[in-house]
Amino acid sequence: MVAPRAQWNSKLGFILAGAGAAVGLGNLWKFPYIAGENGGGVFILAYLACVVFIGLPLMAGEIIIGRATQKSPVGAIQALTHKGSFWVSFGWLTIAAAASLLSYYSVIAGWAMYYAFMSVTGELTAAGTVYEDVFNATQASGATNLFWHAAFMALTIAVVLGGVSKGLDRWSRILMPALLIMLSGLVVHSLFLEGFGRGFEFGIGIRPDEFRATSMLAAVGQAFFSLSIGMGTMLTYGSYLKRDDDIMGASIQICALDTVVALMGCLVIFPIIFTYPELEPGQGPGLLFASIPTGMAQMPFAGLLLTVFFFLLVFAALTSAISLLEVPVSFLIDRFGWTRKKAAVVAGGAIFLYGVPSALSGIEGGLFSGFIWQLDGIVSNYMFPLSGIGLSLFVGWRMPDTLRHDHFLSGSKFKVFYKAWLTLLRFVVPVGIAVVFLNAIGVV
């Protein structure tokens, strides 16, 4: 006998878990510097348009595939087509993409865990600490990286082991509000910093001359990454959603929360950077792991600030990581009838091993030198767009209309938008993503 599909405890559980998947390292590290470098407020407007016209329709589409079939990506697309159909390859692609992303996401989250640990022990605020050096040493140490990568994966597996209701739902309900409280606290703190005005101006001020052609592409790519679409996570989460919950309504709330957190991220980060002339709103993870600690360490209550900041990062990363692990786990359970325990341990263990080259990639001149950023390039520039195009075309053109229509309308306050949604999904979403993709591979 097939066990009934697991379900979220409530619609709120789904929204918090979905927002947990979306809110991650991307909001706090990628969004602020991308916005800052691409014209600030103009970029934010472009980004909002991408969220509304590309991200939101596809998110709802992914959730619809999941709920309509009650299956994880491969089984879901198979159920709507047939075994061996071309479309099923997009299901496989999402699993490969989720596993690839998690393999190195866990290494970066491991740094956050290590920093959180050092902020609790007081090591991070020791006098004379040079944070650039700490970060360089962290990246260059294979043992440190492997240890924290393992610790973070173990934590992720532990949550996923609990299942949908007692693992994903319960932990999202705890971690997401905690994250919002910590983030709000940091925003209030940043409001009183000397660099607030300059930081605000840099992140949010409108500077149209700095908005280039590539900025639009950066906006689409960031919207994808940040909203967690094209990875099968929203599809899988949708497969646990009750029949009459409003999918469009939930998607709007998830997109809104994710965007608000990204904007709050800017409000925290830039005032800190601009309070100290020696810091730069530079690119990449150094912003979080070197510049921010350098600034915070010079402030009153430095220990508390650093602790809150790094726990915030760990919480944000954890709720994203569990959604990524759930994709292969759900597949193994559906396909092979494995127990959740076996599926979580095997998939989590395999992804840990997959992450080893990333964990060792900071060793100068080593075998895997730079691997983590190459993998990030493959995932962000190829896997995300390809599966995004596939999934949008699938929902838009191939999925049976009655099913699509039914699930869009069921319990929804947004029934009148069905036509608009379908048009976006059929044309705007795939074309928008294709432009990004072609650009990434150098065609346009």
Positions touching ligand PHE (CB under 6 A) are: 21-22, 24-27, 101, 225-226, 228, 231, 233, 320, 323-324
Nearer to ligand PHE, 223 or 422 (CB): 223
Cβ proximity to ligand PHE, 233 vs 253, nearer residue: 233
Q: 119 or 320: whose CB is closer to ligand PHE?
A: 320
- Distance between CA atoms of residues 302 and 290, nearest Å: 14
CA–CA distances in Å: residue 264 to residues 29, 181, 216, 236? 12, 12, 21, 28
Closest contact distance (angstroms) between CB of 403 and ligand PHE is 25
Q: Could you tell me how far CA 263 lies from the centroid of its own chain?
A: 15
- State the first-to-last Cα distance of the chain, in angstroms, to the nearest integer: 53
Beta carbon of residue 106, minimum distance to ligand PHE (angstroms, whole number): 11
Q: At closest approach, how far in Å is the CB of 384 from ligand PHE? A: 8
Beta carbon of residue 259, minimum distance to ligand PHE (angstroms, whole number):
11
Distance between CA atoms of residues 21 and 30, nearest Å:
16
Cα–Cα distance for residue pair 32/216, rounded to 1 Å: 15
Dig out the tokens for 198 from the structure.
């300059």
Compare residues 22 and 266 and give the one whose CB is closer to ligand PHE. 22
Closer residue to ligand PHE in complex, CB, 74/422: 74
Supply the minimum distance, in Å, between the C-beta of residue 99 and ligand PHE.
Answer: 11
| Nearer residue to ligand PHE within complex by CB, 225 or 240 | 225
- For 26, the token pair is 């991307």
Residue among 156 and 307 whose Cβ is closer to ligand PHE: 156
CB of 96 to ligand PHE, least distance (A): 13
- Least separation in angstroms between CB 229 and ligand PHE: 7
Helices (H), 337-397: 340-354, 356-359, 371-378, 384-393
d(CA 182, CA 191): 15
- Give 160's contacts (C-beta < 8 A, 6+ positions apart): 167, 168, 322, 325, 326, 329, 340, 344, 348
Question: 43 to each of 39, 222, 227, 263, 388, how far by Cα in Å?
Answer: 6, 11, 17, 12, 22
In the complex, the smallest distance separating the C-beta of residue 29 from ligand PHE, rounded to whole angstroms, is 8
Quick one: 222 or 294, whose CB is closer to ligand PHE? 222
Instruction: Decide whether 22 or 193 has the Cβ nearer to ligand PHE.
Output: 22
CB atoms within 10 A of CB 365: 5
Classify residue 82 by its DSSP letter.
-
The one-letter code for the residue type at 148 is: W
- Counting every residue, how long is the chain? 444
- Contact of 246 with 414, CB cutoff 8 Å: yes
Strand partners, 206: 40
CB of 108 to ligand PHE, least distance (A): 9
Q: What are phi and psi of 40, to 5 degrees?
A: 55, -115
- Least CB distance to ligand PHE at residue 387 (A): 11
Count other Cβ atoms within 10 Å, centred on residue 192. Answer: 8
Nearest to 71 by CA among 6, 8, 15, 19: 6
CB-wise, 57 or 195, nearer to ligand PHE?
57
